[in-house]
């Protein structure tokens, strides 16, 4: 894998359903692969060294002493033995299923295993089941019209998720000759819910799925408003899906929610529930040990005390990492990613909030030179930042050289230079009062959102992680992360003083209202997911592909309503507690 394939700027993606020509006009210029040096704008004003903005970030909710005190009771031979016994019972349940006679039951079992967060134990079994279902029920065209909606919709979603490109035409028969949804189809509320979820696996130019998403959305909202679903469990599932579709949700957080929802289902299997809760608790203990290590690293780095103007968000950064890769075998990846996100939080706050333009130009120049001897030129707070940053990256590079015999430091430095130069450009825009076009903004901000530098660093710093994701996957995931972040944080960032975000750039360029601009950005997210869905077919099992995708999912989960990463609220705190601190019972 060459560095050229993952050193990138990120073009905007997507096409509007309502105004395709307008969106095409915005996006066509940067659909190509772009490897250009970022332009610079000479500042016309400078800050005096004593003038500092402040984001007024609240302190961390979690002390180092508290994190070091964490203990987990689900360790030892007793729990491992019980877990192994339960896993064997599930394997028997899968093998005893009747794929030919009752494919829907097998699909529902696979779906439950995935949403309960335990499917990673049964990859081979699930792969075999889905292959047989594809051959017997989806590969032959003549079988499509014989299948009920629920089987088609759930099968479509699961098979596409696992690399089978099932055509959208299997849903052609759900409308009558007048274009209305058939009555027998509307009676199948579970099938309509699964069709809604399936529609979010669409790729570009799949109008049948676009229409399905629109009419199922209306249908489910009506059912929810009238509470006309037959049972409370179904109401809960519909409300959850309308809040955020399943394919946009981080799997670990879906497991937290679904374990509780599963308890109330009439067809709940006690075997699956027991394994899901036990596995969650065992894995949570592994996460706690990861976090204790990271807490010691963060405390030793000292940035939480010396750089108090910046976000002290170690636990929140770790929360993102667990949302991205929770499996027990990925501990090294979680540790590396948490370090990277923690470094980025502070560097971002220096560029966006605290540093003067002269200081930021100095800092960027020293990053280009990667010269520890040059830090004497920097103000004290930047010396502390650069030294900690320099030492952390060099240590990770040294570990890679020792363990993998790969000298990757020059490639890693290049990615950090691109990241810092992109941040400097935003600082120059702000200091000039310059509002970029949406094209300019997205091209640059898909670097400052940091996904490219995180994924490239993980690729080099983590052994046995597999292939690096394609440039298109990184581009799409970066754009989803950037746009979701903007929807949730732009108002808070503008209040403290920051460059206009995608919403404001679109408003400035087109004269649109904020409401319409937000709608446009939401449509961009939908359209970018279509591109990402296409890229992920056959590749979703690759570790870094899933990491890049889950970073976008974490943004949509985190920034649904506000900047709860910068200023965690009670809801976000409850998510942290459920994920990291409280076992399932």
CA 494 to chain centroid: 24
- What proportion of the chain, given as a percentage, has pLDDT over 90? 74
- Predicted confidence at residue 321, as pLDDT, reads 98
Rounded Cα–Cα distance for residues 272 and 249 (Å)? 21
What is the distance in angstroms between the CA of the first residue and the CA of the last residue of the chain?
45
491 and 29 Cβ atoms separated by less than 8 Å: no
For residue 138, what pLDDT is reported?
82
Domain boundaries, the chain: 78-274, 302-581
264 and 231 Cβ atoms separated by less than 8 Å: no
With beta carbons less than 8 A apart as the criterion, state whether 137 and 155 touch.
yes
Within 10 angstroms of residue 283's Cβ, the number of other Cβ atoms is 21
Taking every pair of C-alpha atoms in the chain, what is the biggest distance, in angstroms?
76
Q: Tell me what pLDDT residue 404 has.
A: 75
d(CA 337, CA 455): 9
Name the pLDDT band for 497 (thresholds 50, 70, 90): low
Structure tokens at 514: 């904020």
Residue 492 pLDDT class (50, 70, 90 cuts): low
What is this structure's pTM?
0.89
- Measured CA to CA, the distance from residue 476 to residue 524 in angstroms comes to 11
What is the Rg, in whole angstroms, of the alpha carbon atoms belonging to the chain? 25
pLDDT at 494 over 80: no
Q: Which residues contact 444 (CB under 8 A, 6 or more apart)?
A: 9, 38, 422, 425, 426, 436
Contact 377, 366 (CB under 8 A): yes
Number of Cβ within a 10 Å radius of residue 401: 13
Residue 384's nearest CA partner among 409, 413, 355 is 355
pLDDT band, residue 14 (cuts 50/70/90): very low
Map residue 395 onto helix, strand or coil: helix
pLDDT at 31 over 90: no
3-state helix vs strand vs coil in the chain, percent to 5: 70, 0, 30
Residue 408 — very low, low, confident or very high, per pLDDT cuts 50/70/90?
A: confident
Q: What does the buried/exposed string (b/e) look like for 473-488 if buried means 16 or more CB atoms within 10 Å of the residue's CB?
A: bbbbbbbbbbbbbbbb
Q: Which pLDDT score, from 0 to 100, does residue 517 have? A: 96
pLDDT at 504 over 60: yes
Query: If pLDDT is split at 50, 70 and 90, which confidence band does 538 have?
Result: confident
| pLDDT single digits (tens) 354-407 | 999 999 999 999 999 999 999 998 999 999 999 999 999 999 988 887 777 777
Mean pLDDT on 6-24: 34
Instruction: Assign domain 302-581 to a CATH class.
Output: mainly alpha
Residues 438-460 have pLDDT tens digits of 999 999 999 999 999 999 999 98
CA quadruple 395, 399, 400, 405: dihedral, nearest 10 = 130
Residue 29: how many other CB atoms lie within 10 Å: 14
Q: What are the distances in angstroms from CA 353 to CA 334, 445, 448?
A: 28, 16, 14
Ramachandran region, residue 231 (left: φ > 0; alpha: ψ -120 to 50; beta: rest): beta
CB–CB of 502/173 below 8 Å? no
* Weakest mean pLDDT among 180-184, 312-316, 336-340, 369-373: 180-184
Phi, psi of 175 (to 5 degrees): -110, 150
β-strand partners of 175 = 181
Q: How many other C-beta atoms can be found within 10 angstroms of the C-beta atom of residue 144?
A: 17
Name the CATH superfamily for 78-274: Terpene synthase, N-terminal domain (1.50.10.130)
Sign of CA dihedral 222, 224, 225, 230: positive
Q: What is the pLDDT of residue 95?
A: 94
Q: What is the pLDDT of residues 57-112, one digit of tens each?
A: 999 999 999 999 999 999 999 999 999 999 999 999 999 988 888 999 999 999 99
Using CA atoms, how far apart are residues 448 and 425, in angstroms rounded to an integer? 10
Report the distance separating Cα 518 and Cα 503, nearest Å.
Answer: 6
Give 4 or 535, the one with higher predicted confidence: 535
- Specify the DSSP class assigned to residue 147: S
Top mean pLDDT of 167-171, 174-178, 255-259, 567-571 is at 255-259
Query: Mean pLDDT of all residues in the chain?
Result: 88
Give DSSP secondary structure letters for 299-359: HHH-HHHHTTTS---HHHHHHHHHHH---GGGHHHHHHHHHHHHHHHHHHHIIIII--HHH
CB 355 within 8 A of CB 368: no
Helix axes 251-263, 314-324, angle to 10 degrees: 80
How far is it, in rounded angstroms, from Cα 529 to Cα 525? Answer: 6
Residue 508 and residue 517 in contact, taking contact as beta carbons nearer than 8 Å = no
Measured distance CA(258)–CA(240) in Å, rounded: 10
Give the Å distances, CA to CA, from 4 to 34, 36, 209, 470.
Answer: 11, 12, 35, 11
């Amino acid at each position: 894998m060459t560095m050229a394939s993952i050193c990138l700027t990120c073009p905007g993606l997507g096409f509007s359903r309502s105004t395709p020509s307008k969106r095409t006009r915005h996006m066509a210029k940067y659909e190509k692969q772009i490897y250009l040096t970022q332009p610079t704008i000479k500042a016309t004003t400078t800050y005096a060294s004593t003038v500092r903005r402040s984001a007024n970030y609240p302190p961390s909710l979690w002390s180092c002493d508290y994190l070091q005190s964490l203990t987990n009771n689900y360790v030892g031979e007793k729990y491992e033995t019980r877990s192994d016994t339960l896993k064997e019972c599930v394997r028997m349940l899968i093998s005893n299923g009747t794929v030919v006679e009752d494919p829907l039951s097998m699909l529902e079992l696979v779906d439950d295993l995935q949403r309960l967060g335990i499917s990673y134990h049964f990859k081979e079994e699930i792969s075999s089941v889905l292959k047989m279902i594809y051959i017997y029920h989806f590969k032959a065209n003549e079988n499509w019209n014989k299948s009920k909606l629920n089987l088609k919709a759930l099968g479509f979603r699961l098979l596409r998720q696992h690399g089978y490109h099932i055509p959208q035409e299997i849903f052609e028969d759900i409308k009558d000759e007048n274009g209305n949804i058939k009555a027998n189809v509307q009676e199948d509320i579970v099938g309509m819910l699964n069709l809604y979820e399936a529609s979010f696996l669409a790729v570009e130019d799949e109008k049948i799925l676009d229409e399905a998403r629109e009419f199922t959305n209306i249908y489910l909202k009506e059912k929810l408003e009238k509470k006309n679903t037959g049972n409370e469990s179904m109401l809960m599932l519909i409300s959850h899906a309308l809040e955020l579709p399943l394919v946009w949700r981080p799997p670990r957080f879906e497991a937290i929610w679904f374990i509780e929802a599963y308890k109330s289902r009439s067809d709940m299997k006690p075997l699956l529930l027991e394994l899901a809760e036990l596995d969650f608790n065992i894995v949570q203990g592994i996460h706690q040990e990861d976090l204790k290590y990271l807490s010691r690293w963060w405390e030793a780095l000292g940035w939480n005390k010396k750089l108090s103007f910046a976000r002290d968000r170690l636990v929140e950064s770790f929360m993102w990492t667990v949302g991205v890769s929770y499996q027990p075998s990925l501990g090294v990846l979680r540790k590396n990613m948490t370090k990277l996100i923690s470094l980025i939080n502070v560097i971002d706050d220096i560029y966006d909030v605290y540093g003067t333009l002269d200081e930021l130009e100095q800092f960027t120049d020293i990053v280009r030179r990667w010269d520890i001897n040059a830090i004497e030129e920097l103000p004290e707070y930047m010396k502390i930042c650069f030294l900690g940053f320099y030492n952390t990256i060099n240590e990770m590079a040294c570990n890679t050289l020792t363990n993998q015999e790969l000298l990757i430091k020059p490639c890693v430095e290049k990615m950090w230079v691109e990241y810092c130069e992109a941040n400097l450009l935003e600082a120059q825009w702000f200091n000039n009062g310059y509002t970029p076009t949406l094209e300019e903004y997205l091209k640059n901000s898909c670097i400052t959102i940091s996904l490219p530098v995180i994924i490239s660093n993980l690729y080099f710093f983590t052994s046995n992680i597999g292939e690096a994701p394609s440039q298109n996957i990184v581009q799409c995931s970066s754009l989803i992360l950037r746009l979701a972040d903007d929807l949730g944080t732009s108002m808070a960032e503008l209040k403290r003083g920051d460059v206009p975000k995608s919403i404001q750039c679109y408003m400035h360029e087109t004269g649109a209202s904020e409401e319409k601009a937000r709608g446009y950005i939401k449509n961009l997210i939908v359209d970018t997911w279509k591109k990402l869905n296409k890229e992920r077919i056959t590749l979703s099992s690759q570790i870094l592909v899933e990491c890049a995708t889950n970073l976008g999912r974490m943004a949509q989960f985190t920034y649904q309503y506000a900047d709860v990463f910068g200023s965690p609220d009670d809801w976000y705190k409850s998510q942290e507690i459920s994920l990291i601190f409280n076992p399932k019972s």
